[in-house]
């Protein structure tokens, strides 16, 4: 908002205000009072010319979950708010059309129906997600693997699973035959598979990628102070009310709602944040806790005591994938994380049913709100 203020001032007041008091000239008390009042009025006018800074919000559904977006900046009218909302949905719809495995017409669903050796044309965005996935798969020695979906299904955690039950060992063995990120290949914009049974599911990185994409969109529209969250994965840029954005880290209590019980609070700006845990999706079978996190190398649910990990990284896509790898790796995750550049982690280990132990990489402490 731009304001132009035009005032017709008496000569002596103009001289006093714009040139300063002339030491060789005597001003009356009335003239001095007029100058004081004029300055006060100008300050009030100039203050009211600045548009109010507010937090504007959008929300919706995408990728089988919900998104929440906040922007801190000048107040906008309804038309502008709707325009930005449409832009956000357009960005997310593009990613959904490519990477949503529950949409039979999406690119990833078409790939999953391919025969071995056939190829599928993919977008640079899709290739970028595969590149990120491939690097984390290799670095984590296969702990992160986007082909683990069939194993998740046989343990009863897939979207199409009818019941949660311990699978037959033969089922697990069969699924392991076509689990492995090295069973797919891509080059520039061509994607192929070595085994027709291979199924790709990028859910553990696509949400983070979507967060980054929306953040880039908002920045391109001039919103440099914003927070984007999709299903718990976050990217924050700039500030809100003169401070960095603050996020709570949930205490890993079974079936607790998000935000119900916090372990810590962090302050971030210019980073992506992702959390992975085993405390919201599991079942008990004959006294055995069955986690939804399946080790792609063994085909079995993880049995370690790492209950939750929160990752801070330069982008949310990497944070998302790294958090998934860590929750598979368990006790060895902190050591692996220290080998990665510009990545910090906060780990919560379950000691027993009520006691937890927290540890973190050295740089994570810089983000904690004291």
Q: How far is CA 190 from the centre of its chain?
A: 28
| Residue 6 scores a pLDDT above 50 | no
CA nearest to 266, candidates 166, 346, 174: 346
Q: Work out the percent of the chain whose per-residue pLDDT is above 70.
A: 85
* pTM (2 d.p.): 0.85
Q: How far is CA 348 from the centre of its chain?
A: 20
Predicted pLDDT at 329 = 97
Query: According to the 3-state scheme, what is the secondary structure of the chain?
Result: CCCCCCCCCCHHHHHHHHHCCCCCCCCCHHHHHHHHHHHHHHHHHHHHHCCCEEEEEEEEEECCEEEEEEEEEECCCHHHHHHHHHHHHHHHHHHHHHHCCCCCCCHHHHHHCCCCCCEEECCHHHHHHHHHHHHHHHHCCCCCCCCCHHHHHHCCCCCCCCCCCCCCHHHHHHHHHCCCHHHEEEECCEEEECCCCCCCCCHHHHHHHHHHHHHHHHHHCCCCCEEEEECCEEEEECCECCECEEEEEECCCCCCCCCCCEEEEEEECCEEEEEEECCCCEEEECCEEEECCECCCCCCECCCCEEEEEEEECCHHHHHHHHHHHHHHHHHHHHHHCCCCCCEEEEEEECCCCCEEEEECHHHHHHECC
Mean pLDDT, rounded, for 53-76: 96
| Mean per-residue pLDDT of the chain | 88
Predicted pLDDT at 290 = 87
Predicted pLDDT at 21 = 45
Whole-number Cα distances in Å, 106 to 82, 99, 101, 109, 113: 27, 6, 7, 5, 11
For the stretch 177-214, pLDDT in tens is 999 999 999 988 999 999 999 999 999 999 999 999 99
- Domain positions in the chain are 11-49, 53-370
Predicted pLDDT at 229 = 98
Q: Which residue has the higher pLDDT, 334 or 16?
A: 334
Q: Which CATH superfamily is domain 53-370 in?
A: ApbE-like domains (3.10.520.10)
19: confidence class by pLDDT, cuts 50, 70, 90? very low
For the stretch 319-341, pLDDT in tens is 999 999 999 999 999 999 999 99
Whole-number Cα distances in Å, 44 to 17, 40, 350: 16, 6, 57
Mean pLDDT, rounded, for 146-168: 87
Predicted pLDDT at 256 = 76
For residue 300, what are its two tokens? 């079995």
Give me the sign of the Cα torsion angle 128, 130, 133, 139.
Answer: negative
Predicted pLDDT at 31 = 60
47: confidence class by pLDDT, cuts 50, 70, 90? low
Predicted pLDDT at 42 = 57
CA distance 264 to 150: 35
25: confidence class by pLDDT, cuts 50, 70, 90? low
Q: How far is CA 282 from the centre of its chain?
A: 23
- Residue 200 CB neighbours (<10 A): 22
For the stretch 238-254, pLDDT in tens is 999 999 999 999 999 87
């Amino acid at each position: 908002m731009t304001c132009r203020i035009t005032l017709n001032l008496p000569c002596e007041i103009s001289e006093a205000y714009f040139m300063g008091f002339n030491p060789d000239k005597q001003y009356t008390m009335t003239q001095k009072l007029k100058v004081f009042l004029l300055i006060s009025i100008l300050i009030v006018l100039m203050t009211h010319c600045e548009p109010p800074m507010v937090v504007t919000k959008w929300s919706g559904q995408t990728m089988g979950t919900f998104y929440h977006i906040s922007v801190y900046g000048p107040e906008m009218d309804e038309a502008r708010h709707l325009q930005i909302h449409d832009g956000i949905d357009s960005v997310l719809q593009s990613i959904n059309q490519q990477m949503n495995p529950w949409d039979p017409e999406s690119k990833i669903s078409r790939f999953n129906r391919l025969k071995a050796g056939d190829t599928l044309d993919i977008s640079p965005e899709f290739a970028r997600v595969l590149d990120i996935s491939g690097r984390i798969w290799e670095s984590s020695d296969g702990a992160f693997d986007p082909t683990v979906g069939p194993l998740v299904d046989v343990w009863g955690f897939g979207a199409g699973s009818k019941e949660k039950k311990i699978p037959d060992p033969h089922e697990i063995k069969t699924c392991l035959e076509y689990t492995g990120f090295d069973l797919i290949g891509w080059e520039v914009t061509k994607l192929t598979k070595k085994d027709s049974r291979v199924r790709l599911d990028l859910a553990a990185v696509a949400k983070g990628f979507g967060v980054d994409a929306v953040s880039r969109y908002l920045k391109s529209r001039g919103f440099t102070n914003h927070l984007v969250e999709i299903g718990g994965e976050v990217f924050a840029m700039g500030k809100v009310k003169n401070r960095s954005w603050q996020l709570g880290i949930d205490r890993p209590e079974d079936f607790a709602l998000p935000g119900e019980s916090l372990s810590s609070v962090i302050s971030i700006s210019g980073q992506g944040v992702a959390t992975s845990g085993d405390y919201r999706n599991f079942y008990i079978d004959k006294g055995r806790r069955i986690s939804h996190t399946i080790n792609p190398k063994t085909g079995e649910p993880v049995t370690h005591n790492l209950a939750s990990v929160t990752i801070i990284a330069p982008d949310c896509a990497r944070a998302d994938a790294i958090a998934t790898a860590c929750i598979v790796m368990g006790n060895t995750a902190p050591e692996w994380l220290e080998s990665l550049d510009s990545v910090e982690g906060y780990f919560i280990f379950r000691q027993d049913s009520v006691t937890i132990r927290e540890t973190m990489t050295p740089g994570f402490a810089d983000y904690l709100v004291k």
